[in-house]
Amino acid sequence: MASNIVLVTGAAGFLGSHLCDALLSEGHQVVGVDNLSTGNLNNLAHLKSERRFFFEHTDITQSFDPGKVDYVFNFASPASPVDYLRLGIETLLVGSAGTLHTLEIAKKYGAGFLHASTSECYGDPLVHPQVESYWGNVNPIGPRSVYDEAKRFSEAAVSAYHRYHGVNTHLVRIFNTYGPRLQPNDGRLISNFMMQALRGEPLTIYGDGLQTRSFCYCSDLIDGILLLSKSDEHDPVNIGNPIEWTILECAKEVQSLVGVGSEIVFRPLPQDDPTRRRPDITRAQTLLGWAPKVSLREGLERSLEYFTACVEREKAHI
Ligand code: UDP
């Protein structure tokens, strides 16, 4: 992209804010919108005096018009299981009405469009590792369905705007991602384990800890997303780190990094918690020349300072 005006929804979120940084460093003007239901303005505080960045408090479930934009990145949604279970109806709305509203903006201004989809589209997958051609194994009425089905509806809507209106759309299926600016209390595995280890508390493992996930560091993910946004690819592309960890192995990695002898305690497994997850990234490799570079150890090291500051703020009751 030459220098453009780019709309980012969910700009105050973990990934949205990293995306804003990356777009600004590529020379674009960025209009960031967020309703701050799970986003946090602290994630954008460093952009206060950035003249090419504009923030608007906007709820995209209502029709809105940011003015002429050249590209739309649709990243607005509660994303951690704790948040989307708490905000179930809001999650359904942002992943349906919200996505349609942002697609209308792309259609109106002839803008490119990239939607943040998710590995949750595969549900509890029966195909392993997950390839993009797999349609998934999702419980449409279970607790996680507010997120999974909203994201699947969004994929249908994005595909339809490409098919019927010729919008230049892109779909990224994002696998578990971590790094600085994760909300410390979002209940996710990496945020929970880092916060617990740094507080000297036991690490909570849900179920037997043998379920798996594959963890991608945020800078790797943003690199892949930017490449996809500039490509001619309209079908979904997995972006994630294909190295698979059991939850127990991941707990041990966090313990060895933080270096304290915190215990491990076992808690009940949430309903419909996927038993395994690992991206097949062949399409990202061949279409985009992308592969992740940051190991889990290195990514956790890069996140340590951020989580340490979160624990210190907590202690000071800030
Ligand atoms: N998990 C865990 N302990 C925690 C938080 C999460 O054992 O304190 C497990 C959770 O049950 C799941 C995995 O870690 O199997 C990843 O959970 P997360 O909430 O990060 O996201 P998910 O991949 O399920 O969307």
What tens digit of pLDDT does each residue of 228-241 get? 999 999 999 999 99
Task: Give the pLDDT confidence of 126-144 residue by residue, as tens digits.
Answer: 999 999 999 999 999 999 9
Q: What residue's CA is closest to ligand 1, atom 5?
A: 189
At 173, is the pLDDT very low, low, confident or very high (cuts 50, 70, 90)?
Answer: very high
- Domain that includes residue 154, residue range: 5-178+217-239
- On whether the CB atoms of residues 242 and 130 are closer than 8 A, the answer is no
Is 60 exceeded by the pLDDT of residue 28?
yes
Task: Give the pLDDT confidence of 10-27 residue by residue, as tens digits.
Answer: 999 999 999 999 999 999
- In this prediction, residue 131 carries a pLDDT of 98
Q: Of the residues 189, 199, 273, which should be mutated to test ligand 1's pocket, given the most ligand atoms within 8 Å of the CB?
A: 189
Q: What residue's CA is closest to ligand 1, atom 6?
A: 189
178 is catalytic: no
Measured CA to CA in angstroms, residue 154 lies from 42, 73, 148, 307 at distances of 28, 13, 10, 32
- In this prediction, residue 318 carries a pLDDT of 66
Measured CA to CA in angstroms, residue 220 lies from 21, 223, 291, 294 at distances of 14, 5, 8, 7
One domain, residues 121 and 222: yes
User: Can you read off the two tokens belonging to residue 214?
Assistant: 């594959």
Percent of the chain residues past pLDDT 90, beyond the cut? 97
CA angle 87, 89, 93 (to 5 degrees): 115
User: Can you read off the two tokens belonging to residue 166?
Assistant: 């010729």
One domain, residues 81 and 206: no
Instruction: State if residue 18 touches ligand 1 by the CB under 6 angstroms criterion.
Output: no
Q: Name the catalytic one among 71, 84, 109, 147.
A: 147
CA distance 290 to 240: 10
Question: What is the residue type of 145?
Answer: S
One domain, residues 198 and 235: no
One domain, residues 11 and 147: yes
The reply to whether 96 falls in a domain is yes
Task: Give the pLDDT confidence of 203-231 residue by residue, as tens digits.
Answer: 999 999 999 999 999 999 999 999 999 99
Residue 207 falls in which region: left (phi positive, over 0), alpha (psi -120 to 50) or beta = left
Instruction: State if residue 213 touches ligand 1 by the CB under 6 angstroms criterion.
Output: yes
The reply to whether 285 falls in a domain is no
Rounded to the nearest whole angstrom, what is the distance from the C-alpha of residue 105 to the centroid of ligand 1? Answer: 35
By C-alpha distance, which of 120, 115, 150 is closest to 137?
Answer: 120
One domain, residues 25 and 133: yes
Task: Give the pLDDT confidence of 34-79 residue by residue, as tens digits.
Answer: 999 999 999 999 999 999 999 999 999 999 999 999 999 999 999 9
Instruction: State if residue 214 touches ligand 1 by the CB under 6 angstroms criterion.
Output: no
Instruction: State if residue 192 touches ligand 1 by the CB under 6 angstroms criterion.
Output: yes
Is 80 exceeded by the pLDDT of residue 2?
no
One domain, residues 9 and 154: yes
The reply to whether 299 falls in a domain is yes
CA distance 234 to 239: 14
One domain, residues 22 and 162: yes
One domain, residues 61 and 104: yes
- In this prediction, residue 1 carries a pLDDT of 56
Atom of ligand 1 nearest to the CA of 206: 7
Residue 252's contacts (CB-CB under 8 Å, 6 or more residues apart) are none
One domain, residues 120 and 100: yes
Q: What residue's CA is closest to ligand 1, atom 4?
A: 189
Q: For all residues of the chain together, what is the average pLDDT?
A: 97
Rounded to the nearest whole angstrom, what is the distance from the C-alpha of residue 14 to the centroid of ligand 1? Answer: 17
DSSP 8-state class, residue 279: B
Instruction: State if residue 176 touches ligand 1 by the CB under 6 angstroms criterion.
Output: yes
CA 185 to mean position of chain CA atoms? 16
Number of domains in the chain: 2
Percent of the chain residues past pLDDT 70, beyond the cut? 99
CA distance 215 to 218: 9
Helices marked H in 72-201 — which ranges?
Answer: 81-86, 88-93, 99-109, 145-165, 189-199
CA distance 6 to 25: 13
Rounded to the nearest whole angstrom, what is the distance from the C-alpha of residue 49 to the centroid of ligand 1? Answer: 37
